[in-house]
Amino acid sequence: MEFNLADMFENAVDQFGDREYLVCDGKRRTYREMEERANRLAHHLQAHGIGAGDHVGVYALNSVEWVETLWAVFKLRAVWININYRYVEDELRYLFDNADLKALVYQRTYAPRVAGVLPSMPLLKHSIVIEDGSAEDFSSIGSVRFEDAMASGSPARDFGPRSPDDRYILYTGGTTGMPKGVVWRHEDVFFALGGGIDPMTNERCKDPAAMAEKGRNGAMTFLPIAPLMHGATQWAVMGQSFLGSKVVLMAKFEPEAVWDLVEQEKVNSMMITGDAMGRPLVEALDKGRAWDTSSLFLLTSSAVTFSPTVKDHFFKHFPSLMMIDAIGSSETGNNGMVMVQAGQTEMKGGPTVTKVGNTVVLDESFDPIPAGSEGRIGKLARVGDIPIGYYKDEKKTAETFVTKNGVRYAMPGDYGMIEADGRITLLGRGSVSINSGGEKIFPEEVEAAVKSHPAVFDCTIVGVKDDRWGERVAAVIEWRPGKTATLDELKEHCRTKIAGYKLPREICAVDKIVRSPSGKPDYRWAKQVATGASAGA
């Protein structure tokens, strides 16, 4: 077998066929059941002209059908494309056109949007609709029902050999700009995101079959909460499968429903995306309802800021909880992680992490900043096991994937600071940093300080135009019910946590902070809100 994602899943099926693999919205699949259904769907797609290298869109909420499609497509050496279910028609047109879809699997709820953007998919050969109880009309699209497609295909595993060079594409909107398709080789993305490098020892897996051996003596039950269109949850579903684990999914995030699942499924490990999920989750526990959470021993946060106040709140409920704060991106994979302990939460823009893989911080000349260069700031980068580039975007590829002295780096734009012990503190994305009087201010650091105020439920920090300083810091804040604070009170609170020039200079209160489905800040929205408020002041 190869370092190919479908090969590795099939190896796990052969080892753990009777183990439960997936649970979502009351539906359950063992490893063997998932394999059989994925084979059936793969044969159906194959019969409709889908083969190696073809792109298949998946447009749905989390579901077992999403995962069945995932494996079916990889079995054919084709490429599935994750589609943001919150996109409106203009955004979908851009994505569908950019992604060159030849097949589409979508949830019936979204049939009207699919019908509206069909002209943007000139290469489309076939579509399949997942029934979800809705009555949306899909007759104009000509789609086959998912279960009918499943019934038409053979359950046999009779596919040809695959390659570690097969493609995986992750469309990412990030915090700014239109979605971009990050193109990876299977082997590279396995080492960057799929567990191919042990995060504790930095040792590389030498044999793809060895991953299943790690799960030989028992399985963990893992609950990743974010949508499958988000890379972290994709890799929870895939990476955990190589180990024989059980994965629990939910279609939409609801704090009380999460704790229901922890109790019902005896969840051992949960993955969240920072405060956007962490805060409502832990506050649900404050309301007095008693859940049996004794099975839970590990909490991992990735993708966005996980503030010290929320971490400490979790430790109040789970004094012995193992907590991991991780950093990474669609263009680099896992860059680093830190084990957080009670009483030792940090007050910085992002976590201070031990590097995973070949992660470095580059100076302005694209040279690595050596360990021991305490306080030096540069751009976070990774060498080795990195993507091929962005799909159909040579300009952006050249900007993000930089070669110097024969070494190729993935450098998506995050800034980091070297600590005395060689660890890295994540500061944030340079594209949303604020330049005030020549000083670079990273929103994540200010957000962590502001969110530690007891009246603040959530916030996003942006820069607005300032005649004297170029930009000044504006805080777009969602207050806690019945609470508020003045600007002076907020500044006084933050002054002990961040330097004076980073303090918010104005507040813009909103009913609800807008975030992406994965919990990332919507800086474009916040900028519009803050700029409009400043203009009207």
Residue range of the domain that includes 515 = 433-536
Residue 119, domain member (yes or no): yes
Measured CA to CA, the distance from residue 97 to residue 314 in angstroms comes to 43
> Is 425 in the same domain as 474?
no
24-48 average pLDDT score: 97
> Is 270 in the same domain as 164?
no
Measured CA to CA, the distance from residue 278 to residue 301 in angstroms comes to 8
Residue 290, domain member (yes or no): yes
Residues 119-164 have pLDDT tens digits of 889 999 999 999 999 999 999 999 999 999 999 999 999 999 999 9
CATH number of the domain within which 518 lies: 3.30.300.30
Last residue of a domain, one of 138, 164, 186: 186
Is the separation of the CB atoms in 267 and 296 below 8 Å?
yes
Is the separation of the CB atoms in 243 and 18 below 8 Å?
no
Residues 485-517 have pLDDT tens digits of 999 999 999 998 888 889 999 999 999 999 876
Residue 18, domain member (yes or no): no
**Can you give the pLDDT at residue 518?**
64
> Is 122 in the same domain as 140?
yes
> Is 379 in the same domain as 442?
no
> Is 181 in the same domain as 323?
no
How many C-beta neighbours within 10 Å does residue 477 have? 25
CATH number of the domain within which 98 lies: 3.40.50.980
> Is 306 in the same domain as 422?
yes
Measured CA to CA, the distance from residue 5 to residue 242 in angstroms comes to 9
Measured CA to CA, the distance from residue 291 to residue 296 in angstroms comes to 11
Q: Confidence class of residue 520 from pLDDT cuts 50, 70 and 90? A: confident
534: pLDDT strictly greater than 70: no
Reference 232, options 99, 135, 324; nearest CA is 324
> Is 396 in the same domain as 267?
yes
Measured CA to CA, the distance from residue 409 to residue 485 in angstroms comes to 45
Residue 9, domain member (yes or no): no
**Can you give the pLDDT at residue 129?**
98
Residue 257, domain member (yes or no): yes
CATH number of the domain within which 365 lies: 3.40.50.12780
Long-range contacts of 527-535 (CB under 8 A, 24+ apart): 527/462, 527/463, 527/464, 529/476, 530/462, 530/464, 530/474, 530/476, 530/506, 531/464, 531/465, 533/474, 533/506, 533/508, 534/464, 534/465, 534/474, 534/506
Residues 299-312 have pLDDT tens digits of 999 866 688 888 89
**Can you give the pLDDT at residue 175?**
45
332: pLDDT strictly greater than 50: yes
Residue recorded with tokens 């789970």: 318
Per residue, the 3-state secondary structure of 367-394, as one string, reads: CECCCCCCCCEEEEEEECCCCCEECCCH
How many C-beta neighbours within 10 Å does residue 206 have? 7
Last residue of a domain, one of 154, 186, 218: 186
Q: Confidence class of residue 347 from pLDDT cuts 50, 70 and 90? A: low
Average pLDDT across the chain, whole number: 90
Residues 408-465 have pLDDT tens digits of 999 988 888 888 888 888 777 777 888 887 777 888 889 988 999 999 999 999 999 9
Measured CA to CA, the distance from residue 373 to residue 265 in angstroms comes to 47
Last residue of a domain, one of 402, 429, 456: 429
Residue 239, domain member (yes or no): no
The one-letter amino acid code at 453 reads: H
> Is 460 in the same domain as 525?
yes
Of the listed ranges 19-23, 45-49, 233-237, the least confidently predicted one is 233-237
> Is 258 in the same domain as 160?
no
Which SS3 state, helix, strand or coil, does residue 252 take?
Answer: coil
Is the separation of the CB atoms in 373 and 421 below 8 Å?
no
Angle value at C-alpha 445, between 443 and 451, nearest 5 degrees:
95
Reference 74, options 156, 172, 167, 207; nearest CA is 167
Reference 530, options 459, 431, 479, 448; nearest CA is 459
> Is 379 in the same domain as 419?
yes
> Is 154 in the same domain as 278?
no
Which ranges in 56-180 belong to alpha helices (H)?
Answer: 64-75, 89-99, 111-116, 146-152
Longest dimension (CA), the chain: 70
Residue 223, domain member (yes or no): no
- Phi/psi for 381 (5° steps) reads -145, 165
Reference 270, options 297, 299, 294; nearest CA is 299
> Is 423 in the same domain as 438?
no
Is the separation of the CB atoms in 185 and 232 below 8 Å?
no
The count of domains in the chain is 3
282-304 average pLDDT score: 90
For 101-115, give one letter per residue: b (16+ CB within 10 A) or e: bbbbbbbbbbbebbe
Structural Rg of the chain based on CA atoms: 23
- Phi/psi for 439 (5° steps) reads -90, 130
Is the separation of the CB atoms in 19 and 35 below 8 Å?
no
How many C-beta neighbours within 10 Å does residue 84 have? 19
Residues 388-398 have pLDDT tens digits of 999 999 999 99
Is the separation of the CB atoms in 267 and 44 below 8 Å?
no
Residues 80-126 have pLDDT tens digits of 999 989 887 888 888 999 999 999 999 999 999 999 999 889 999 99
Residues 376-385 have pLDDT tens digits of 888 899 999 9
Which range has highest mean pLDDT (326-330, 401-405, 517-521)? 401-405
**Can you give the pLDDT at residue 535?**
63
Residue 280, domain member (yes or no): yes
Measured CA to CA, the distance from residue 131 to residue 133 in angstroms comes to 6
User: Directed axis angle between helix 275-285 and helix 255-265, to 10°?
Assistant: 70
- Phi/psi for 69 (5° steps) reads -65, -40
Which SS3 state, helix, strand or coil, does residue 128 take?
Answer: strand
Measured CA to CA, the distance from residue 227 to residue 212 in angstroms comes to 25
User: What proportion of the chain, given as a percentage, has pLDDT over 70?
Assistant: 96
